[in-house]
Amino acid sequence: MKLRKLGVFAAGAAVAFSACSNTPAATGGASKGTVYFAIELPQQGSEKAASDPIINGIKLAVKQAGGKAGGYTIEIPQSVIKDDALNGAHDAQTGANNMSQIVAEEKVIGVIGPLNSSVAKAQIPISNEGGLSQCSPANTNPDLTKGAPAAQLRKKANNYIRVVTTDDVQGPAASQYIYDTLKKTSVYIIDDTETFGKGVADAFEKDFKARGGTVTKRDGAPKTTQDYVTIMTAAASGNPQAIYFGGVTATGGARILLAAAQAGLGKVPYVGPDGINDGSATTKDSFLNLAGDKAANSYSTLAGIGTFDGKAKFDADYLAEYKTAATGYAAQGYACAQVFLDALGRAGATNPADLKALREAMRVAVTDTSRTYTTIQGKITFNADGDTSQKIVSIYSFDATAKDWKFETQVDYASK
């Protein structure tokens, strides 16, 4: 049943498989050996809610591909599923250590993760040095791939791609929604002072001002902040019509919403990026779980496609496999795994001599800018920076009956 769902990408794998069985080295179509896909995501605290669907998505994709590509057997052993939130929230230093360990494991031919841009910033130089393909299902900070800051991270040939679009699109999408759809012309902006949060808030602010909107105040509160009520009292003094939060649940998404309610801003729309779109109210530690009824006027964005051909089937398969609905970046995790499976098919066809050569062949295949990948999200290509051609941002609102995020609309920025 599941094997029939190999999908389009399996064609590539099948071709590669038959190709290798024709070579003298291969013995009767047996596996060329076992290789690993590593996963690096925060798996404790609030961010567990965001990471679990991604891990499930990755495993589902590998399982549906029969656990094979390019003649290799693919495994995701627990030893290469690393957690960068050992103390409850993502930590760049832990992420860097994890990446060193992953790179050192020679069977690993690709790593999927991390969740947070600040962690990616610490990891990319390490995976790049090790020539290991890295695909992030959730990093949205533009500096990871574009311009001089990105060049600093990658001294060698590119190894990093991402299947989500960037904050210079995600921020403006939220801005456009607040200004055009919600018809709010003044906004208070607060970020968590981290790479991702500040970046997306900056992009939001720039776009909102360009549309003619007013920013009543721009503020920042690190995740160790104690007294959010004071900050939101100051926010309320500017009488904003909406609040934009740049950050994730673990760095204060729900705390700021609760404080806003205390300070009299409970009825003002509260809009955040993908960092607060981390599952329904029944998901432990998620934004909606912590915010409770106070989430009534909350909105969030995802820097990826919200509705796509085959979503119904994906949701059904996911539900059947994990007994829970696919949320957040589940499809993005699936897409990363699909890209890796496709690339492994092509890398395996070159018959690399050893695991080291395979890792390099894999990197070349993954970052091939001429390759059009057929993923669950649609057909995508990656440019030389590693960014996806699909620049779609989805908007979600809080559904008080289902106590979950409800898909509202999606905006395609590819042509803009």
Site residues for another protein per CB under 8 A: 44-46, 48, 85, 87-89, 193, 215-222, 224-231, 233-234, 237-238, 249-250, 254-255, 258-259, 261-262, 264, 266, 284-285, 289-294
Determine the Cα–Cα distance for residues 145 and 137; give it in Å rounded to an integer. 14
Backbone angles phi, psi at 368, to 5 degrees: -60, 110
Tell me the closest approach of the beta carbon of residue 201 to another protein, in angstroms.
12
Q: How far is CA 383 from the centre of its chain?
A: 18
Q: Where is 59: in which H helix or E strand?
A: helix 48-64
Q: Which is nearer to another protein, 67 or 266 (CB)?
A: 266
CB of 232 or CB of 364, closer to another protein = 232
Whole-number Å distance between alpha carbons of 234 and 158: 45
The strand pairing partners of 35, in sequence order, are 74
Q: For residues 18 and 239, which CB has a smaller minimum distance to another protein in the complex?
A: 239
Closest to another protein by CB, 74 vs 221, is: 221
What is the smallest separation between the CB atom of 189 and another protein, expressed in angstroms? 11
**C-alpha 5, offset from chain centre:** 24
Of 413, 405, 362, which Cα lies nearest the Cα of 387? Answer: 413
| Residue 249 vs 367, nearer CB to another protein | 249
CB 393 within 8 A of CB 302: yes
**Distance of closest approach, residue 328 Cβ to another protein, in angstroms:** 15
Least separation, in Å, of the C-beta of 8 and another protein? Answer: 38
- Taking the complex as a whole, the smallest distance from the CB of residue 295 to another protein amounts, in Å, to 9
Phi, psi of 394 (to 5 degrees): -105, 145
Q: Looking at beta carbons only, is 58 or 250 nearer to another protein?
A: 250
Supply the DSSP string of 167-210, one letter for each residue. Answer: HHHHHHHHHHIIIIIS---EEEEEE-SSHHHHHHHHHHHHHHHH
Min dist. Cβ of residue 250 to another protein (A)? 7
Closest CA to 207 of 26, 22, 68, 413: 413
Bridge partners (DSSP) of residue 373 are 380
Closest distance to another protein from the beta carbon of 296 (Å): 10
Taking the CA of residue 176 as centre, how many other CA atoms within 13 Å lie in the half-sphere pointing to its CB?
16
CA 72, chain centre distance (Å): 26
Given the complex with another protein, which of 86 and 182 has the nearer CB atom? 86
Pairing of strands 72-75, 68-69: antiparallel
Nearest distance, CB of residue 184 and another protein, angstroms = 17
Q: Which is nearer to another protein, 230 or 307 (CB)?
A: 230
- Nearer Cβ to another protein, position 221 or 366? 221
Q: How far is CA 46 from CA 25, 104, 116, 224, 376, in A?
A: 49, 29, 13, 15, 27
Residue 78 Cβ, how far from another protein at the closest point, in Å?
A: 19
Which are the contacts of 363, defined by CB distance < 8 A and separation ≥ 6?
A: 131, 132, 133, 157, 159
